[in-house]
A and B are shown apart, each in its own frame.
Chain A
Amino acid sequence: MNNTWLDVTTILGWHRSAVGIVRTEVECATYALNMSNEKLIKFCAYNPKDGYYEVNADVVRITIEKINGHVKNKKNNEVVAPLRKSDIKTKVKANVLKLIQIFPVRAQRKIINFLLPRREAVHSFLTSLRYCKLALKQWMKPAGSFRQQHSYLETSTAEVKFPFQHGDEYISLGLDWDQKDFHYLYLIKKKLNLKVKLFCYDVIPVKLPHLCVGDVAGKFSHYFSNVAWCADEIFCISKCSRDDLKELLIQLGTPIPKLTIVKLGCELPIHNESVAVSIEVQNILDKKYLLFVSTIERRKNHEVLYKAYTRLIDNDVDGLPLLVFVGMPGWGMNDFITDLSLDPRIKGKIIQLNNISDPELTLLYKNAWFTLYPSLYEGWGLPVAESLAFGKYCLASSAASVPEVAGDLLDYIDPWDVLGWAEKIRYFIENPDAITQREKRIEAEYKSTKWSETAASILN
């Protein structure tokens, strides 16, 4: 009988609460651990040194318990302005000033007066040094002498290492673009006729690279092309993601494997009452608040809510609830977070919470008035599904896959439409019954997906 191997590389290296992709791997591994013997599921992981190796089920169980029980104590949840790193210029200036202070006070002014008009000369000297370095580099490695990078597999007779047998099935749901060598996997697939099932959460790094950190389009298009070559089946988390992936693969010219849509689960682990809840969270729970759960990054579009809120504040709208951002600050958001900390209008009205445990998040969802999700682009929109699973209405973005989550149960607004968001929030403040009505409809009509259902559709 052939084995099914579930790759747990991602969760083995994870030491915090589960988010997005990690949660998918955690939940599928949990399901696999509890499966009856109808199908033999084994666990494996990969590292560049050892290749693929088998992971004991007990190790997986302990890892999952650790991730699910992760609660960190927080010291400060207030919006904190990012620390400004001093650049080299500033450091040099500081050192020169320190050096000058060694001299007698009367001489110090003379030295400064001597040095100041010569700043340009120093700058030119430093620039010339940089050019010297560049010239040396260009001399040693002239343009056009393209040195190719070879994986050790290409240039040596190194054997691929794996615990799989001919005809086995291999499933990976994790952070594969950072953790796997697809050339390696492709060789194993060919050697063993391994049935490979991989995951596509979204193609945002290729489709909207400007909304991601660094120049990731190249890396991710390379990743997706390798996925297409290795996989017999790719699970996509929405119709939007599936269509985006298909479009990309057609453009790239790779084979197009079977593309299957799976719905991600949306229930959080059951809240154990004995788990500690931080003071910051407790302070919020008894107030009226709107909740936005997401990493703070440009794509998630916190800015539209900030702008909408400042409009409501500027217009003296009464009864404005708190706006709570739950999520860690991501790249490129320093200016935005600084705005949040410096804008006196929103002081005490927009709260940022970071490093929230699953039990805390459960409480935050349960006690929220309603949730918001103004993302510019999504592969699915898990926080929307989570909100609905808690019976909470979500005012959501009309972009990409977001409307797939709940169809006509929710209202959708163009993510760039500041006035639209402001007006709708104001409408709900002035017509709170509208939220109650919508919640009733959600309760009656929305069927949330359980993680066990997701895992079953992948593993069975």
Chain B
Amino acid sequence: MKNILFLSTYSFAKPRHGGQIRLHQLVKKFNEDGWRTRSIAVYEQESFIGDELGTYDVPFPVDSSFRLFNGRNIPLINDLLTGYYAASQKGGFDKIVSNLPDKIDVIYVEQCWMWETAIKIRNIPKFNKSIIVFGSQNIEYLLKEDILKQYDVKETEDVINAIKTTEINATLGADIVAAVTKNDAELMMRWGRDEVILAPNGIEPWEKKALTEKWSEKLPKSPWMLYIASAHPPNFTSFNKIIGDTLACIPPDSKLVIAGSVCEHIYREILKSKWANINISRLELLYVLDDVDLAEVKNRAHIYFLPIEHGGGSNLKTAEALYSGKYVIGTNSAFRGFENYINCTRVSVITSPQEFFSATREALLSPVPELTKSEQYDIEGLTWGRTLENISLKVSEAYEVLINE
């Protein structure tokens, strides 16, 4: 049987945020395509617990000396530091090795952080024929540069250079490279890579008819807007700027409903705004919901809102929003990877608060959009089964070549 090992810097036994969901879907896809899968996540000890962990996951201790970058305490770079910890004999490498399966045909490194670890695993004689796949989720060094700048973290040039080096090494050194957007793929090809497989983010279809009393009481009676996101900084740091500090474009009987761990961050952001009083009256925060509740909330939404200004890659939530068949209002960045959809009449790409105001007012006062047959067909292409098709095929082909050598 063909064997594939997934390496990541977060556990995904209970997938919540975009990266976890993507990994979960990748593993699922390869399982369905006949692969025996094993995943090892080297995770921040303080961030995961209990049933959130996979069987073979390895903790990155909170008091590890690897928590410093060249002796300096720099916030928001634990992914990079996790990679260093995982690849080092003084860190978690031996634990990783003890959790490896007997046979590995493919090492799938999701994001660049575990690149050095993958190389070290392949250097182990019994794994030296394994194929390495590098799955990029976005251009990490650019995203990190953005985030550190936003949080006003100083003297980060060496950090950014370190990430860029790792990312380029992974892009040029892997046997197969996958990207989530055309833009990312093009940039990676400019670094010298001949071929980059496009494996966009997708969605897991959900039950679209589920409606219960519980949610009809809790949610606004009039059409409302939904934003679902994790606590990943790009999901909230530009929120006030995008909405022009005000949600007064939402009528008094409607709300912006927010679900996910981004809630408390949005609440804090909103309090900074000059119009906090109005904004709080137009917000309904649901925090983290289970899948059943989330499915119902999604079904009841009239508009999906995607206020993302930073980051590369593509947004899982954009795929979900487009798949919903409802109105979608989002920034340019939010539609990265979904450019084919921006001309749909139900989609509004906003570039200023004024555009946000008018698009929101118009959509909230309009009836639910009706999709044409061709739109229906297009959105089916957004499911994970379809978006991960190419990468799965490519890896299988490489495996066939390997075993026939």
Contacts and interface: CB of A to CB of B under 8 A. Distances in A.
A218 B276 contact: yes
B394 interface: no
Interface string B195-222: 0000000000000000000000110111
A393 to B, nearest CB: 41
Of the candidates A187, A218, A228, the one having the most CB atoms from chain B within 10 angstroms of its own CB is: A218
A222 interface: yes
Contact of B252 (A148, A186, A221, A253): A186
Interface in A222-266: 222, 225-226, 228-230, 251-255
A222 B283 CA distance: 13
B248 interface: yes
A222 B278 CA distance: 5
A61 interface: no
B285 interface: yes
Given A155-B217, A218-B277, A225 B285 contact: no
Of the candidates A144, A149, A222, the one having the most CB atoms from chain B within 10 angstroms of its own CB is: A222
Nearest to A184: B252
A183 interface: yes
A298 B327 CA distance: 49
B93 to A, nearest CB: 37
Interface residues of A, number: 26
A190 interface: yes
A154 B281 contact: no
B278 A225 contact: yes
Contact of B253 (A149, A187, A222): A187
Contacts of A230: 252
A182 interface: yes
A139 interface: no
Contacts of A219: 277
B324 interface: no
Given A144-B268, A190-B253, A225-B248, A253 B281 contact: no
Contact of B354 (A146, A155, A217, A253): A253
B367 to A, nearest CB: 14
Contact of B267 (A146, A155, A221, A222): A146
A271 to B, nearest CB: 44
Interface of B: 217-218, 220-222, 244, 246, 248-249, 251-253, 263-264, 267-268, 274-278, 280-281, 283-285, 353-354, 356-357, 360-361
23 contacts: A146-B263, A146-B264, A146-B267, A148-B283, A148-B285, A154-B220, A182-B252, A186-B252, A190-B222, A190-B253, A218-B275, A221-B277, A221-B278, A222-B275, A226-B252, A228-B248, A229-B251, A229-B252, A251-B246, A252-B278, A253-B353, A253-B360, A255-B361
